[in-house]
Amino acid sequence: MATIKDVAARAGVSQSTVHYALNGKRSISDSVRQRVIAVVAELDYSASALGQRLRQSRSYSIGMIAPQLPTWDASSMEMLMSTSATAGAAHHSMAIFVGQSADQTVQLLRNQTVDGLILIETTHNDPRIEALREGKYPFVLLGRTENLTGLTSVDFDFEQAVFVALENLVKLGHRRIGLIAPEPSTLENRYYVQRGIERAQATYDFVATSVFEGQRLNVEDGYRITEKLLTLEPNVTAIFAAGHSHVGVLRSLYSHNIRVPDDCSVIGITTAQVAEWSIPKLTSVDIPLFDMSQIATKLLLKKLAGEEICEQILAPAKLVTRESTAAPKNT
Amino acid sequence: MATIKDVAARAGVSQSTVHYALNGKRSISDSVRQRVIAVVAELDYSASALGQRLRQSRSYSIGMIAPQLPTWDASSMEMLMSTSATAGAAHHSMAIFVGQSADQTVQLLRNQTVDGLILIETTHNDPRIEALREGKYPFVLLGRTENLTGLTSVDFDFEQAVFVALENLVKLGHRRIGLIAPEPSTLENRYYVQRGIERAQATYDFVATSVFEGQRLNVEDGYRITEKLLTLEPNVTAIFAAGHSHVGVLRSLYSHNIRVPDDCSVIGITTAQVAEWSIPKLTSVDIPLFDMSQIATKLLLKKLAGEEICEQILAPAKLVTRESTAAPKNT
DNA sequence: CTGTTAGCGCTTTCAT
DNA sequence: ATGAAAGCGCTAACAG
């Protein structure tokens, strides 16, 4: 591989001239520039990122820290693609790190493997956050997370999402609604889900049959809880499903030959792509994960550029009606 | 940040002593080692990856090249997680690059941003492959891809997968089967899908109603084609769905209130996770994408370690019966 | 407008 | 068992 030295020698100029000819940060005579360009082409020269990085003490890459083994789904891809593209546009690369301990996470910054981090799926009192905060390292939280002052985060307005979802069901005419959500807690977004439910109940008149179980609801949770719900109150005309439980809800209803939305409406909170893959297509308060990730990445890049940033962004909830909701039959 | 120089000065030894004390590649007296370790702890020293990388002319990171804007789904996550974890275990980080041109792809290797690449979703005569091959850069192909000699690739046995899927339907008693697959072609895995169909037809006795359209079938394709199929032959008792079309197939059947598997069986080829998310759970020939990615990554790492490798690996097809298949009603 | 030079932090050869 | 010194490839301050 040709180095800048080779180019300089071949072109009969100094290294700095080659450098500036290629980066245009100081004026270079046209003749010299032409010559340099020619030699660069001839030797197939390309500046080594390794040399640049050491010299500038910047890795020009950001890390995405993913938890151990969550339910990886299509929505995670949105985050990754969005982050990668946004970082790439700013000449940074994005690396993924799975299941790192707090120590390992900090280590990535300390040894300059990455310049900054985006943390996803963080939990309350996450040891990684505390470790990073102490070291004053640049990082941004993305997605479901506790809200701590002094931190930069991009989150989704779950409280509003839940409220909007229930409001929609009520306005369609539903009065007996099944509620599937994580058990109440003051931690993380579960708190906001409960707040949304409470606000809807205070605002509208409907009978809720609630099953609040677990912390992060997956598909099987949805199935199991729906079976339980149908025993508790077989006459629900609509079900609100938090997390990924909606897939299990739909499967349970399918096995009972309860038609959606004819016999029972289902509404959830998820990303557009996941909603489009469900059967039938799920009416949902869509989480704009792609945009959120882009915002988070841009904030991190700004931090890396030296800007002092401390912002908590809350993406708004917007309902998208698809195929899984309708007015109840006997209205 | 403390550097190795600082540690050496504080411990009253040379840089190389610090280095070897920390890396154990030459004998160090116990007393010196203790002292160095103590100073390292005291100064909170950690070797900068930037310095190491330049010195060793290795970026210690591998790149994953993803195409422009495909249907990103949960199965893609399997590849990323698997690759990231495998690379991480070998002290490499993994970066994702989306929608790079052939030039940009080669550039990543030329300027040492990464040491090697894993290419996914490659197409026939992919310009990126040609560019990389010329430069003799280390890379491995993963997933659906053409088979070119001299290259290292990890692929799935689609022909066998299709055969096994159809065989399963026939053995369940199905004789009128709907076939949804990409249009015939000598290119890529589409070729193998057709080969599998032909082999099944030569081996078993069943009436196929085929709709071969498009190149990579997505959810909407599946929906549209199923609607067409039901017009062509309303009496199919089972449907084979290639690619991601099975989701559309199930949705179409749902809208017609055709019960799965009671009125019609559905079988597909996808990853376990995607199959588990469908309604009902899809009987499928599972693509072991997690394992395949791990193998691909290990092969790449071996290449980076200097081994001469040229291997085409084909992951075997294994059918997993879930909820979407059963014997036909009026057998 | 161009050249000289120092040095980023590390690894490794050579010397003792 | 340890130290001195070179140098990976680049950028940028300084000098002209």
B269 touches strand D (CB under 7 A): no
Neighbour count for residue B136 (Cβ, 10 Å): 8
Is A2 touching B (CB cutoff 8 A)?
no
Mean pLDDT in residue range B171-185:
95
Distance B112 CA to D12 C1' (A): 22
Percent of chain B scored above 90 by pLDDT?
80
What CATH code is carried by the domain that includes residue B9?
1.10.260.40
Confidence label for A74 from pLDDT (cuts 50, 70 and 90): confident
pLDDT of A127 = 84
Mean pLDDT in residue range A150-165:
94
Contact call for residues A226 and B279 (beta carbons, < 8 A): no
Contact call for residues B279 and B262 (beta carbons, < 8 A): no
Residue A242: pLDDT over 80: yes
- On whether residue B328 sits in a domain, the answer given is no
Residue ranges of A 138-177 with Cβ closer than 8 A to chain B = none
Mean pLDDT in residue range A21-33:
92
Average pLDDT, chain A: 93
Contact call for residues B266 and B246 (beta carbons, < 8 A): yes
Rounded Cα distance between A208 and B313, Å, is 55
pTM over 0.85: yes
Rounded Cα distance between B299 and B230, Å, is 45
Contact criterion met (CB < 8 Å) for B84 and A97: yes
Q: Which tops the pLDDT comparison, A137 or A127?
A: A137
Mean pLDDT in residue range A10-23:
96
Q: Is B78 helix (H, G, I), strand (E, B) or coil?
A: helix
Contact criterion met (CB < 8 Å) for A46 and B110: yes
A24 lies in which domain range?
Answer: 4-47
B185 and B279 both lie in a single domain: yes
Give the β-pairing of B283-286 and B318-320: antiparallel
Confidence label for A212 from pLDDT (cuts 50, 70 and 90): very high
A188 and A242 both lie in a single domain: yes
B141 and B167 both lie in a single domain: no
DSSP symbol at A93: E
Residue B187: pLDDT over 90: no
- The number of domains in chain A is 3
Furthest-apart CA atoms within chain B: distance in Å: 88
Please return the burial class of B331, using the count of CB atoms within 10 Å of its CB with bins 0-12, 13-18 and 19+: exposed
- On whether residue B321 sits in a domain, the answer given is no
B151 and B295 both lie in a single domain: yes
CA dihedral A192, A193, A199, A204 (to 10 degrees): 160
Rounded Cα distance between B40 and B33, Å, is 10
The region of weakest confidence among A35-49, A194-208, B146-160, B280-294 is: B146-160
Q: Which tops the pLDDT comparison, B147 or B240?
A: B240
A32 and A95 both lie in a single domain: no
Contact criterion met (CB < 8 Å) for B279 and A279: yes
Neighbour count for residue B46 (Cβ, 10 Å): 17
Mean pLDDT in residue range A150-174:
95
Contact criterion met (CB < 8 Å) for A88 and B81: no
Q: How many angstroms separate the CA of residue B201 from the nearest CA in chain A?
A: 31
Closest protein residue to C2 (Cα–C1'): A17
Rounded Cα distance between A156 and A313, Å, is 8
- On whether residue B273 sits in a domain, the answer given is yes
A145 and A169 both lie in a single domain: no
Is A88 touching B (CB cutoff 8 A)?
yes
What CATH code is carried by the domain that includes residue A188?
3.40.50.2300
pLDDT of A206 = 98
Q: Is A287 helix (H, G, I), strand (E, B) or coil?
A: coil
Confidence label for B70 from pLDDT (cuts 50, 70 and 90): low
Confidence label for B146 from pLDDT (cuts 50, 70 and 90): low
Residue A81: pLDDT over 90: yes
Please report the number of interchain residue pairs, chain A to chain B, with beta-carbon separation below 8 angstroms: 136
Please return the burial class of B319, using the count of CB atoms within 10 Å of its CB with bins 0-12, 13-18 and 19+: middle
pLDDT of B148 = 74
Distance A299 CA to D8 C1' (A): 34
Contact call for residues B13 and A22 (beta carbons, < 8 A): no
A178 and A141 both lie in a single domain: no
DSSP symbol at B249: H
Dig out the tokens for B157 from the structure.
Answer: 């046995």
Chain A residue closest in CA terms to B60: A113
**Residues 6 or more apart from B111 whose CB is under 8 A from it?**
A46, A47, A48, A49
Contact criterion met (CB < 8 Å) for A46 and B93: no
Rounded Cα distance between A244 and A270, Å, is 7
Residue B258: pLDDT over 70: yes
pLDDT of A146 = 64
Residue B186: pLDDT over 70: no
Rounded Cα distance between B275 and A9, Å, is 60
A77 and A133 both lie in a single domain: yes
Dig out the tokens for A312 from the structure.
Answer: 């908590």
A142 and A248 both lie in a single domain: no
Confidence label for B121 from pLDDT (cuts 50, 70 and 90): confident
A27 touches strand D (CB under 7 A): no
Confidence label for B127 from pLDDT (cuts 50, 70 and 90): confident
A138 and A165 both lie in a single domain: no
Q: Is B166 helix (H, G, I), strand (E, B) or coil?
A: helix
Residue A83: pLDDT over 60: yes
Confidence label for B71 from pLDDT (cuts 50, 70 and 90): low
Is B47 touching A (CB cutoff 8 A)?
yes
Rounded Cα distance between A308 and A293, Å, is 19
Confidence label for A190 from pLDDT (cuts 50, 70 and 90): confident
Answer positive or negative: Cα dihedral of A315, A316, A321, A324: positive
Confidence label for B44 from pLDDT (cuts 50, 70 and 90): very high
Alpha-carbon distances, residue A140 vs A64, A226, A230, A292, A304 (angstroms): 10, 36, 41, 11, 11
- On whether residue B323 sits in a domain, the answer given is no
Contact criterion met (CB < 8 Å) for B93 and A85: no
Residue A185: pLDDT over 80: no
- On whether residue B101 sits in a domain, the answer given is yes
Mean pLDDT in residue range A191-208:
95
B152 and B211 both lie in a single domain: no
Residue ranges of A 252-271 with Cβ closer than 8 A to chain B = 254-255, 257, 259
Neighbour count for residue A322 (Cβ, 10 Å): 17
Q: Is A7 helix (H, G, I), strand (E, B) or coil?
A: helix
- On whether residue A322 sits in a domain, the answer given is no
Rounded Cα distance between B173 and B167, Å, is 10
**Closest nt to residue A53, judged CA to C1':** D10
B122 and B209 both lie in a single domain: no
Distance B20 CA to C13 C1' (A): 14
- On whether residue A55 sits in a domain, the answer given is no
- On whether residue A327 sits in a domain, the answer given is no
